[in-house]
Amino acid sequence: MQISEQRIKIAIQKSGRLADHSRDLLERCGLKVTQSKDQLFCYGENMPIDLLLVRDDDIPGLVSDDVCDLGIVGFNVCNEKKLSLRRNGKEALFKQVYALDFGHCRLAIAAPDGVDFNGLESLNGTRIATSYVESLRAFLDENNIQAEIEYFSGAVEIAPLLGKADFICDLVSTGKTLAANHLKEVHTVFESEAVIIQTQAPLEDAKQELIERMLQRLDGVLRARESKYIMLHAPRSALAQIIDLLPGSEYPTVIPLEGDGEKVAIHSVCREDVFWETLENLKKAGASSLLVLPVEKMLV
């Protein structure tokens, strides 16, 4: 199998925290693929789109260098790459298109249990271990903090135990790893989630069109994921109040009910989750026969 230049290439993580979500998202966009024997790329069967399966750290570089047209990667990795290119006098040639609502975590400063932390000034004159050297440096500079950065490529959380650092700066999601290493989170540097990035290199029209089509589908999947379709009956007299209660609903459809002059049916796409409390409030306002359905695809 060979990857043709006329096809779109999307870099995704080969294995790890983002791998399955990335594959799943692209499948939802209608892409069907066959994986190569060496498992390094997937050939798009029904669209001229191939997937390159790589380490997440390589994704921003592959997109910036125009080896791949799109990439799915953590914001944290993109940010680090951007800053490190900038330090070397270069600009990253990729742009972030959408945040994808998975791979949520935060880059945070943590201190050993029992250490007093009285705001960011407590970091002055200390050593902080991290794999995110550039992100941490930018954060310290922004906050006028003088601290030494100790680079650790992994297992950052053991640095204080080894006497190599006073604090650490690492990714946290549940906080269990910190707790297991007797560390406590003291400050969030930034929040992160998976994002889709696009090369800024000029593309042929056909390729650009295909990318736009794919991104439109992606937008549809993301919108659908956070949307619900709600149907209910409402007394005409309470129409305005009930429409007000529908979360994130823009233009509800109001349909007369055959044989009932008093009531109407309301159908609406809600661009947010619909909680039980909302349904209870709608019922209190006079709504009945409430139905909430998931939305699978959306094209606006």
List interacting residues with ligand PRT (CB under 6 A).
13, 16-18, 55-57, 74, 76-77, 103, 105, 170-177, 192
Q: Which CB, 14 or 267, lies closer to ligand PRT?
A: 14
Q: Which residue number, 56 or 150, has a Cβ lying nearer to ligand PRT? A: 56
Is 81 or 263 the residue whose CB approaches ligand PRT more closely?
A: 81
User: What are the DSSP calls for the chain, one per residue?
Assistant: ----TTSEEEEEESSSTTHHHHHHHHHHTT--EEE-TTSSEEEESSSSEEEEEE-GGGHHHHHHTTSSSEEEEEHHHHHHHHHHHHHTT----EEEEEE-S-S-EEEEEEEETT----SGGGGTT-EEEES-HHHHHHHHHHTT---EEEE-SS-GGGTTTTTS-SEEEEEESSSHHHHHTTEEEEEEEEEE-EEEEEE-S---HHHHHHHHHHHHHHHHHHHHHT-EEEEEEEEGGGHHHHHHHSTTB-S-EEEEETTEEEEEEEEEEESS---HHHHHHHHHTT-EEEEEEE------
* Nearest residue to the partner ligand PRT, using Cβ: 74
User: In the bound complex, what is the minimum distance in angstroms from residue 84's beta carbon to ligand PRT?
Assistant: 15
Partner from Zn ion, ligand PRT, none contacting 46, C-beta within 5 to 8 A by type: none
Quick one: what does residue 130 bind among ligand PRT, Zn ion, none, with the CB cut-off 5 to 8 Å set by partner type?
A: none
Contact between 46 and 181 (Cβ < 8 Å): no
Q: Which does 88 bind (CB under 5 to 8 A by kind): Zn ion, ligand PRT, none?
A: none
Specify the residue, 44 or 103, whose C-beta has the smaller distance to Zn ion. Answer: 103
Q: Can you read off the two tokens belonging to residue 204?
A: 């042929």
CB of 156 to ligand PRT, least distance (A): 7
Q: Which of residues 3, 19, 57, 185 is near Zn ion by CB under 5 A? A: 57
From the list ligand PRT, Zn ion, none, pick the one residue 76 interacts with, judged by a Cβ distance below 5 to 8 Å according to partner type. Answer: ligand PRT
Q: How far is the CB of 36 from ligand PRT (least distance, A)?
A: 18
Smaller CB separation from ligand PRT, 42 or 77 = 77
Q: What is the chain's Cα-based Rg?
A: 25
Q: Which stretch binds Zn ion (CB under 5 A): 54-62, 200-208, 231-239, 242-250?
A: 54-62
Contacted entry of Zn ion, ligand PRT, none for residue 126, CB cut-off 5 to 8 Å set by kind:
none
Residue 56 found at the interface with Zn ion (CB under 5 A) = yes
Task: Tell me the closest approach of the beta carbon of residue 73 to ligand PRT, in angstroms.
Answer: 7
Q: Which does 37 bind (CB under 5 to 8 A by kind): Zn ion, ligand PRT, none?
A: none
19 binds Zn ion (CB under 5 A): no
**Minimum gap (Å) between residue 55 Cβ and ligand PRT:** 4
Query: Which residues have a Cβ under 8 Å from the Cβ of 62 and sit 6 or more positions away?
Result: 11, 52, 54, 68, 71
Give the nearer residue to ligand PRT in terms of CB position, either 2 or 153: 153
Q: Which is nearer to Zn ion, 56 or 69 (CB)?
A: 56
Q: How far is CA 67 from CA 10, 21, 97, 198, 200, in A?
A: 9, 22, 18, 11, 12
Q: How far apart are CA 124 and CA 167, in angstroms?
A: 11
Q: Which is nearer to ligand PRT, 132 or 266 (CB)?
A: 132
Would you tell me which residues interact with Zn ion (CB under 5 A)?
56-57
